[in-house]
Amino acid sequence: MDIVPKSVIEGLRLCGDDKLISGKAFEIIIEHACQTVLGNIAQNNEPDLSKENTNLSVAKQCHGSVTVLMLEAAKHDLQEEQLGMILDDCGLPQKQKEAFAFSYNHYKEDLRDKLSKVGRHAPNLVDVEWRLDYNLKNNRINKVNELQYTISLKQDNGEQVDLVCTRDELQDLVGKLKEASKALERASQI
Amino acid sequence: MEEVDKIILHSLSGVGCEFADEIFSLKEMTTENVVEGAVKCIRIVNDDFKMSPVFPPGMSARFRVGTSIAQACQNLGYRGEIGYQTLLYSSEVDVRKLFMFLVEKLPRKEGIKEDTGSASVLQRRIGQVLREQGSKLWLPSYCFAPHSNFVPFRTQTLTIPKYQKDKETTTPYVHQQISDSNFFIPSLLELNVKQYHTTSKQPSSKTKQNVSRESYQWKQQSLLQEKIPLTSSFDDVIRLVSGEGEQSKQSRFVHTQKLQTVQTLPNLTNSRPIIPRKPQHLQSSNYGKDQEQNVNKQNHNEAIHENHVEKIKEVELSDEQRFEETESKLLEEIERKETECVKYQKKMQKMETSIKQMKIEIGELEVSTEEAEKKIVVQQKTCQLLPNAEENMEKLQKLIEKNQQRIVSLGKMWEERRLPMINEIKEFKEKTELSEDNTEIKLEEIKLIRKRMKEATEETKRKEQMIKQLSTELESMKRDISRQSYTKRIHEIVSSIHKQQEEIGRVISEIKDVQKQINKMKGRIDRTFTAVDEVMFKDARKNENIRQAYKYLVSLHDGCTELLRTVEETGAILREVRELEDQIDTESQKNAEENLKKIMKDYKEIKRENAEMIKAIRKQ
C-alpha cells in the first residue's frame, strides 16, 4: 500500500523521536487532527501542548502529516494491518502506533462519512405521486378520449420533477427502469 | 419432469436466454424461444456455428434456419429424430429430449480462469458492493438522518510546516491556513495527490494506463510549455488553463486528479500568457458581493458628481495642482534619501570588512607576543646559570644522560606493553568488522523478511477476499440448484423402481404357477381320456350303447381341444391388439399426421414464395 508521499512519512518519522515529541503530545495531536478534519474544532484552535516538552515546529509538521495520513487511510478504507504496515515504514514505536490505530478505528466511519459529503451528488428519488386523467375534449377537437398520466418525482432536496405522459410513454419508462435494475443486478453478479 | 425442466431453463438463462427467467416449464416455450435457445446453446458448443438467434418471419427462411439447426444438432451427435418441423411445430417431448442433449453438451463452468487483473478486481469489488447494497432492506427516506449539505470540491494551497534544526517555522498549523473550513478536506486530498505526484517521479503506472497516452503526453507538454508551477493549487491550474482569469470564482470541480489528466481543453493555445495569481483578498467567496458594493458606491458617486460638477471642478483644479507640487517634492526627497541610504549602506559594509580584518590582525599579534614571552623565560634561566658554568654544565650533562637512560628504559617498557595492545586492537578490529558484516547481513535479512511479510499479508488479504466472494457465490448457487434434493429424488425413484421390479417378479411367478396348474390339468385330462378311451373301446364292441357313448366322448374331447385352442388364440390376439394400441398411442403422440399437414402447408407456402420470387425476377 503506497498512498502517502514521502514528505508525510518523514513527518511521521519525527514523531517517533521521543526527544522531539513526547508520546502524550502525539496523542493530543492525533485527537486534535481528527477533530479538525471532522469540523468539531474552531479553526483558530491549536493543540494544547503547553504541558508537554515539545518543539512547536515538530508538532506542526507532525500535525499536518497525521491529518493527511488519517484522511488518506479513511479514503482507501484501509484495514488495521495495512495501516500498521505504513506506520511500520514510518518507524513509529509500538505505543504511538497503537494510539494512531485506536484513533483511526474510532473515527474511521465518521471520517468516511465526512469524505462522502465532498463533491456533488445527484438528488435521490424519495417518493412518487401520480394521477391518471382522462382527456375528453378540448377547444379544437371535440372527441379526444385519451389517457394522460401526470407523475411527480419527489427528490430528497425538497424539489420535484413533474412529467406528463401517455400510456405508451409510461410503459416505455417502466421498461427502461426495469432494464436498468436488471443491468444493476447483472453487474452485482460478477 | 419438473426438475428436468427447471435444470434446462436454468442453464438456458445461464446461456443468455432472457425468456427462461419468465417461464416455468418447457410447455410454455414458443417456437421462437425454442429456436433462440437451441441456437445459443449450439453457438457455445460450436464456435463456428454463426446464426442469429432471432427467428425470421418468412417461411422459406424459417425452413432454412430450421434445417440448418437440425443439421447442426445431428453433427453434434444427436441421435433422435430431428428435422425442421421438430423445432417449428415442437411437441414437448421432442423439445425436452433436444434440450437435454444440448445442455449436456454445454461446457462446465469449473475451469473458469481466475483473473487477477486490476480491472477485473475492481469490477468484482464493484459487484460485491452492489450485492451488499442490493441485499439491504429498503427503508423510506424519512427513516434516515437528513443529509447534511454537500461540500463542493474547492481547494486552497496548503503547506505542511517543516521542522528544521535551530529554526522556528512561521507557517501556522495546516488547518489554520484555510480560509473556510469547507475547503479543508479537499485541500488536504489535493495536497496529498500533488506531493505524491511530484515525489514519485514516474507517475504511478495504474493511472497512466487508464488515461489515454495521448492525453497524458499532452498534459505533460502543456505543463512544460505553460510553465505552470507544480506547486500551484488545482484551482489555480484550472483557472490558468481555462483562461477565465480573474472573473472566475474558485472552480467547483468534483473530481480530483483524474479530471486533471483526462480533461481536454480544446481552446487552449500555447501562446496564452500566464495570468498572475489572484490576490488573497479576492479569493474569499464573498468577492462578488464586494464588487457589487463597489459598483453601487461608484454609481452613487457619479450621481453626486453630476449635481456639483462645476464646484468640484474648481476645487479639483486647485487641489490637483497642490497635490502635484507636493507629490513631485516628496518624490524628489525620497530619491535623495534613497541615494543617501545606499551610500551609507556601502560605507557600513566597508567598515564591517575593515573591522573583521582588524580582528584577525589582533589575533595574529597576540599569538606572536605569547611566543616572545616564552622565549624570554628560557633566556632568563640560561642567564641565571651563567656564573658557575662548568659545574652547571656537568650537572646538566648528567641530567641529560639520566634522562636518556630513562628514555631508553621507558622505550623498552613501552615496546613490551605495546605489542599485546596492538594485538588486542587487531582482534577488536576484526571482531568489529565481523559484527558489522553480521549486522549488515541481518539488516538485509530483516528487510527481506519485511518485504515477504508485506507480500504475505497482501496475499492473505487477496485470498480472504476471494474466499468471501466464492462463498457468496456458493450461497447464490445453492438457491438455484440444491444438489441434495436432487439426490433425494433420484434415491426415491430408484427405490420405486426396485419396488416395481419386485412386483413384476411376483406377477411373473404367479403366471408361472397358473401355467403349471394348467399343464397339470391338461396332463390329467389327457391321462383320464386315454384311460376312459381304453376301457370304453373294449366295451364298445359288445354294447351298442357304449359305442354311442364312446363316440360322444371322442367328439367331446375334440370339442374341448378346439375350445382350448380358440381360447389361446383369443389370448394371443388380445395381446396383439394391446401392443398395436400402444404403438398407435406413441405414433399419435408424435402427431405425425398433423405435422405432415403442416409440412405440406409449408411446402405449398414455399412453393408460392418461390413462384413469387421467380415472377419478380422475370419482371425485372
Give the C-alpha distances (Å, rounded to integers) separating B369 from B341, B366, B374: 42, 5, 9
Pairs of CB atoms within 8 A across A/B: 137
Which 8-state DSSP code applies to residue B386? S
Taking alpha carbons only, the member of B272, B271, B277 closest to residue B246 is B277
Strands of A146-155's sheet, edge to edge? A125-135, A146-155, A160-165
Across B81-90, B276-285, B406-415, least confident range: B276-285
Between CA B82 and CA B481 the distance in angstroms is: 30
Tens of pLDDT, residues B502-538: 999 999 999 999 999 999 998 998 898 888 888 888 8
CB count in 10 Å sphere of residue B43: 17
> Which residues is B606 bridged to in the sheet?
none
Find out whether A76 and A93 touch, Cβ atoms under 8 Å: no
- Cβ–Cβ below 8 Å for B130 and A188: yes
> Which residues is B167 bridged to in the sheet?
B164
ipTM for the complex shown: 0.78
Q: What mean pLDDT comes out for the span B141-161?
A: 76
In a domain, A166, yes or no: yes
Q: What mean pLDDT comes out for the span B592-597?
A: 79
> If residue B321 lies in a helix (H) or strand (E), which one and from where to where?
helix B309-385
Backbone conformation region of residue A69, classed left if phi is above 0, alpha if psi is from -120 to 50, else beta: alpha
Domain end residue (candidates: A65, A89, A116): A116
The three cell numbers of residue B176 are 489554520
Chain A: residue nearest B121 by CA?
A: A190
Of A173 and B257, the one with more pLDDT? A173
Between CA A79 and CA B267 the distance in angstroms is: 44
Find out whether A22 and A52 touch, Cβ atoms under 8 Å: yes
Find all residues with CB under 8 Å of B471, minimum gap 6, and list them: none
Give residue B147's pLDDT band: very low, low, confident or very high (50, 70, 90): low
In a domain, A144, yes or no: yes
- Cβ–Cβ below 8 Å for B461 and A82: yes
What pLDDT score does B272 carry?
46
Q: Most A CBs within 10 Å: which of B149, B182, B185, as the mutation test of the A interface?
A: B185
Whether A156 and A73 share a structural domain: no
| Mean pLDDT, all residues of chain B | 78
Of B412 and B201, the one with more pLDDT? B412
Taking alpha carbons only, the member of B212, B209, B215 closest to residue B118 is B209
Whether A25 and A79 share a structural domain: yes
Chain A residues closer than 8 Å to B200 by CB: 5
What pLDDT score does B423 carry?
94
Give residue B499's pLDDT band: very low, low, confident or very high (50, 70, 90): very high
Whether A163 and A135 share a structural domain: yes
- Cβ–Cβ below 8 Å for A64 and B160: yes
Whether A97 and A165 share a structural domain: no
Domain end residue (candidates: A63, A87, A116): A116
What pLDDT score does A46 carry?
77
Of B432 and A87, the one with more pLDDT? B432
pLDDT at B216 over 60: no
Domain ranges of chain B: 2-105, 174-276, 512-589
What pLDDT score does B420 carry?
92
In a domain, A175, yes or no: yes
User: Which range marks the domain in which residue A36 is found?
Assistant: 6-116
How many whole angstroms from its chain centre is CA B128? 10
Whether A51 and A26 share a structural domain: yes
pLDDT at B14 over 90: no
* Amino acid, single-letter form, for residue B348: M
In a domain, A54, yes or no: yes
Find out whether B66 and B82 touch, Cβ atoms under 8 Å: no
Chain B residues closer than 8 Å to A44 by CB: 176
Whether A83 and A161 share a structural domain: no
Domain end residue (candidates: A116, A144, A167): A116
Tens of pLDDT, residues B326-353: 999 999 999 999 999 999 999 999 999 9
* Amino acid, single-letter form, for residue B246: E
Of A37, A60, A82, the CB nearest to B184: A37
Taking alpha carbons only, the member of B135, B6, B116, B139 closest to residue A185 is B135
Q: What mean pLDDT comes out for the span B37-47?
A: 81
Whether A80 and A135 share a structural domain: no
What pLDDT score does A151 carry?
93
The three cell numbers of residue B386 are 651563567
pLDDT at B271 over 50: no
Taking alpha carbons only, the member of A106, A43, A17 closest to residue A70 is A106
Find out whether B5 and B25 touch, Cβ atoms under 8 Å: yes
Between CA A101 and CA B580 the distance in angstroms is: 86
Backbone conformation region of residue B571, classed left if phi is above 0, alpha if psi is from -120 to 50, else beta: alpha
How many whole angstroms from its chain centre is CA B354? 74
Structural domains in chain A (count): 2
Between CA B66 and CA B84 the distance in angstroms is: 4
Whether A19 and A110 share a structural domain: yes
Of B149, B167, B174, the CB nearest to A64: B174
What pLDDT score does B103 carry?
82
Find out whether A143 and A149 touch, Cβ atoms under 8 Å: no
- Which portions of chain A are predicted below pLDDT 70? 1-2, 53, 190
pLDDT at B276 over 90: no
- Cβ–Cβ below 8 Å for B450 and A88: yes
- Cβ–Cβ below 8 Å for A119 and B151: yes
> If residue B76 lies in a helix (H) or strand (E), which one and from where to where?
helix B59-76
Of A36, A44, A72, the CB nearest to B192: A72
What pLDDT score does A130 carry?
93
Tens of pLDDT, residues B387-417: 777 888 888 899 999 999 999 999 999 999 9
Give residue B237's pLDDT band: very low, low, confident or very high (50, 70, 90): low
Three-class DSSP labels, B496-564: HHHHHHHHHHHHHHHHHHHHHHHHHHHHHHHHHHHHHHHHHHHHHCCCHHHHHHHHHHHHHHHHHHHHH
Of B147, B162, B181, the CB nearest to A61: B162
pLDDT at B268 over 50: no
Whether A12 and A82 share a structural domain: yes
pLDDT at B77 over 50: yes
Whether A39 and A109 share a structural domain: yes
Across B395-409, B537-551, B575-589, least confident range: B537-551
In a domain, A96, yes or no: yes
In a domain, A146, yes or no: yes
Find all residues with CB under 8 Å of B129, minimum gap 6, and list them: none
Whether A66 and A98 share a structural domain: yes
- Cβ–Cβ below 8 Å for B254 and A120: yes
Total-model pTM: 0.40
Whether A64 and A42 share a structural domain: yes
pLDDT at B371 over 90: yes
Q: What percent of chain B has a predicted confidence (pLDDT) above 90?
A: 29
- Cβ–Cβ below 8 Å for B160 and A65: yes
Terminal CA-CA length for chain B = 55
